[in-house]
Homo-oligomer: A and B are copies of this chain.
Amino acid sequence: MPQPDLTAVFAHIDRQRESFIRRLIDYVRHPSISAYGQGIEEVAALLIDHLTALGFDARAIPTAGFPMVLGKRIEAPDALTVLLYGHYDVQPPDPLEAWLSPPFEPTIRDGRLYARGVGDNKGQHFAQLLALESLLAVYGKLPLNVIFLLEGEEELGSPHIAAFVREHCDDLRADLSITADGPVHESGQSCIMFGVRGVISFELRARGANHDLHSGNWGNIAPNPIWQLVHLLGTMKNARGEITIDGLYGDVLPPTDMDRAAMAALPLDVERIKAELGLTALDETLHRPFYERLMFQPTLTINGLHGGYGGAGSKTVLPHEAIAKCDMRLVEAQRADDILAKIAVHVKKHAPDVEFIPDAGMEPSRTPLESRFTEPIRAAIIAAQGNAPLLIPSAGGSVPDYVFTKILGIPAFGVPYANHDEANHAPNENMTLDRFISGIKTGAAMLTYLGAHTDP
C-alpha cells in the first residue's frame, strides 16, 4: 500500500521543537491533583482553549466528580472517526523530600523534563494536541474526524467515566479509540497495547481503644489494630503471592495462543530490571512467567499501611488505629463489583471489626491483536519512530479502556509515548524530550495513516 508522505509535518514538528518544549513546561507547571481537588478547573480551561484554537467544538462537561473535557472536529461525516483519550489529573507528589527539583517547577536535566504528571499523562496528551495542531498548520485540515476526551479523575480510578460514556455515547460515536498513556516497553521499543488490567482500590481500617495506650500496661489486654490488619491481610494473600480470597481466580481467563506468541516475542532482560530497581530477586507469583504475571494475573498490592509510632527512636505505645490502603489489578473476565463483593465477604468473615471501605473500580479491557486497525497504527509508528512496535496483549496498569471496548463497543489501542523509566506515580517523574517530540510525530502519523488506509 502507498505510504502517506509525512515529510512536511515532521519538518514542522522539528522546527517547533523548542517552542513545543517551552509550552509543555508551561502546561505541567499547573498542578491538577485530583486526590486533593487542586487546580482541576484551571487545567481543564487551558485544554478547552487549546482545542478551541484548533477549531474543535470543545467544552467541559460536568460529572458527579471533576469535569470531562470533550472536543470534536468533524472533517467529513462519512470519514473514519478516532477517539483520542487522555487524562489531565496527576498523582499527588509526595514524598516531596525525595524530589531533586520541586514537582511543579518543571526542570530539564540530561535531556529529560522532570515534573509531576509530565509522563502520566500531561506530556502524552499534550503531544496528541500538538500533533493535531501540526497537521492543521501544514494541511489546514485533519485526515479524519477526531474526538478528544480528557478526563480529570483517572488517578482516582475514573469513578465517573463509565456513567459519562453511557450518557454521551452519541457524542462519542467513533470507530476506534487511541490512548497515549503509560511507558513504552522497558527495552525502549515502542509498542501497541491491546489491553489493560482493571483496578479496584479499598481501605481497611482497624480501630482499638479510643486513644493510644502504654504497651506495658495494656499489652495482652487491649486489642492492637496493627495486629488485626496484619492477621487479616495474612489471610488475603500468602507469602507465595497467591491471593487467598475465595473465588478470586474463578473468572481469570488464560492467555490465548496468540497472546502467548506475542508475549514470547517480547524482549525480557530480568537482570537489567533487577539492576535498575536495585533488587536481588523479583516476585515469582504462582511461578508463572514474567509477562503472564504482569498481564494475565490479578494482583493485591498494599499501597500503604500506617498505624502507631513512626518517629525517631522507639516508643512503647499500643496504637489505637491502623489503616491499610490496597489496590488490586484485575484481568479478563474479572468484574470490579464482583471482586469487591468477594473481598467484603472475606473481611466480614475473618475480621468483622475491621472496616472495609471500597473505592470505585475500573474494569479490565482487551482488544484482539488481529484488529483491522493494527496494521495502519503499526505502519505509522514505524514511519514516525523508525522501528516496528512491539505488540503487547495487555498493560499491567490501568486506563479506562473498558468504557470503549465494553460500553461503546469499539476496539481500543494504547500507544504510549513516555520513556519506560518515567517514574510515574513516584518522585522525580520525568519524560525525555526526545520521546515527547517523537510522540507528537507518532500522533500525526497515526491519524494520517488511519485516514489514508481505513474505511469507516
Contact = CB atoms under 8 A, between A and B. Distances in A.
Interface of A: 34-36, 91-92, 94, 98, 155-157, 182-183, 196-197, 199, 201, 203, 208-224, 226-227, 229-231, 233-234, 237-239, 241, 273, 277-283, 285, 290, 293-294, 297, 299, 301-319, 322-323, 325, 327, 329, 353, 359, 395-398, 423-428
Nearest to A216: B397
A219 B307 contact: no
Contact of A325 (B209, B231, B314): B314
A312 B36 contact: yes
Contacts of A230: 229-230, 233-234, 302, 305
16 contacts: A92-B312, A210-B277, A210-B278, A214-B426, A217-B396, A217-B424, A219-B327, A219-B396, A227-B233, A229-B230, A230-B305, A231-B239, A305-B322, A306-B307, A306-B308, A308-B325
Which 5 A-B pairs give the minimum distances between C-beta atoms?
A216-B397, A219-B299, A304-B308, A35-B313, A210-B278
Contacts of A309: 92, 94, 303-304, 325
B329 A303 contact: no
A239 B214 CA distance: 21
B293 A220 contact: yes
B307 A304 contact: yes
Contact of A314 (B35, B215, B226): B35
A212 B318 contact: no
A425 B316 contact: yes
A316 B307 contact: no
B397 A214 contact: yes
A280 B398 CA distance: 41
A154 B5 CA distance: 79
Contacts of A215: 299, 301, 303, 327, 329, 397, 425
A139 to B, nearest CB: 37
A387 B237 CA distance: 55
A314 B201 contact: yes
A253 B290 CA distance: 52
Given A234-B230, A302-B227, A309-B304, A217 B182 contact: yes
